[in-house]
Structure 1
């Protein structure tokens, strides 16, 4: 099953997967988080707001941003015409820098870890025997990247099966499907949609629920509680176009018959 998406729907999903990728893969810094907070980036999303998990993830992320603005005594939506730049004010705020330092420590603890991360973002951690890194799943994911001319920057030093990288790859596939659809290349658009289905089914969905539960258990800030819930909801919502839904009772994704 593949529910065709129009160009606008694909563009909106593409953006959301790209944002989700950055939230997981990139260490938070003052400048980027200041821009998120000042623009209230998480007040809404262009795709997935029909999902309760997406809405809850956004609520938590936006709430953290609102609290950070309040703690730094900066008003969101500052009037640029009057020379007021809320993001710049946040960058200069010691209180905001302290909030971002807390996020950085949490990102490291959850997703990187001095030893074992509390909520590893690596597929291998969940599906390989003894959590073996650089195994067959990494090789399969790397091959998928290369078919589309992609190679991770730290090849052979970092596993390719990081959830952030894989969400970024899905964003790329969605973008390619959109471009094919806009060029009226239906055959290629269908093939790209099928590839997304296979990639989600084989490499993302089988372990997404355990990852999400680990984030819920170990996250201490609403920011990363929101990230976990938003990422899960986004992937689950997008998977529905392929007839796949999360079975709460079985705690697993299943394809509708």
Structure 2
């Protein structure tokens, strides 16, 4: 595994967990602790601006996670690709079907819970980590066709509308991190139309 693939595996797993699991879970508590360390930015591998570092000092709450990812009210930026890429703006749309076909073709089992849409942003980051570690030959295809076409759009909306400093900081950090993934691997991203 190259250094870049290792970095994608590490950062994808950490960011993905934060977008997917509630902050009190055993998957996320150590990651929040990591971001509260004074020197975490030195270990991240990219220049992290002071705004992001300040936002990540906040403590995320279960209520914030609920409002951003679960509902019952409308989510400020739903974390599923098909909400943005499908003309109907629905979960379980065409982009999810394309992702499922990609997973099936490459014999990759879904990472989420049974019956859950696999195009959740957190799951897709963790999937990038898994692919970087186990099937790096398809990483560029996955990033260019499935994650990067909508990732920055989602993160921009999420950062603008998340009324929670920690999660705003994570969205900004994820934006910078994905841009470097793209640059380091020379990924050309598929053009898409956004419906939201």
- Whether these two folds match at TM > 0.5 is yes
Alignment of 1:155 onto 2:114: yes
Structural RMSD (CA): 2.9
TM-score scaled to structure 1, two decimals?
Answer: 0.62
Provide the C-alpha distance between the structure 2 equivalents of 1:132 and 1:18, rounded to a whole number of angstroms. 26
Q: What per-residue deviation string (whole Å, max 9, x for no partner) do you get for residues 89-120 of structure 1?
A: xxxxxxxxxxx5xx221122122221431111
Provide the C-alpha distance between the structure 2 equivalents of 1:12 and 1:244, rounded to a whole number of angstroms. 16
SS at match of 2:171: helix
- Decide which structure has greater helix share: 1
Q: Which residue of 1 aligns with 2:163?
A: 220
* Contact 2:22–2:28, Cα closer than 8 Å, also in 1: no
Structure 1 stretches lacking a partner, 5+ long: 1-5, 69-99, 178-188, 247-251, 253-257
How far residue 30 of structure 1 moved from its aligned partner, in angstroms, is 6.5
Alignment of 1:116 onto 2:68: no
Provide the C-alpha distance between the structure 2 equivalents of 1:245 and 1:57, rounded to a whole number of angstroms. 27
* Contact 1:27–1:107, Cα closer than 8 Å, also in 2: yes
* Contact 1:60–1:225, Cα closer than 8 Å, also in 2: yes
Structure 2 stretches lacking a partner, 5+ long: none
* Contact 2:121–2:151, Cα closer than 8 Å, also in 1: no
Q: Which residue of 2 aligns with 1:79?
A: none
CA radius of gyration, larger in: 1
SS at match of 1:241: helix
Provide the C-alpha distance between the structure 2 equivalents of 1:31 and 1:111, rounded to a whole number of angstroms. 18
* 1:75-224 paired onto structure 2 within 5 Å: 100=60, 103-146=61-104, 147-156=106-115, 158-177=116-135, 192=137, 195-224=138-167
Q: Which residue of 2 aligns with 1:94?
A: none
Q: Which residue of 1 aligns with 2:15?
A: 20
* Contact 1:12–1:46, Cα closer than 8 Å, also in 2: no
Distance 1:245 1:234, change over 3 A: farther
Alignment of 1:43 onto 2:31: no
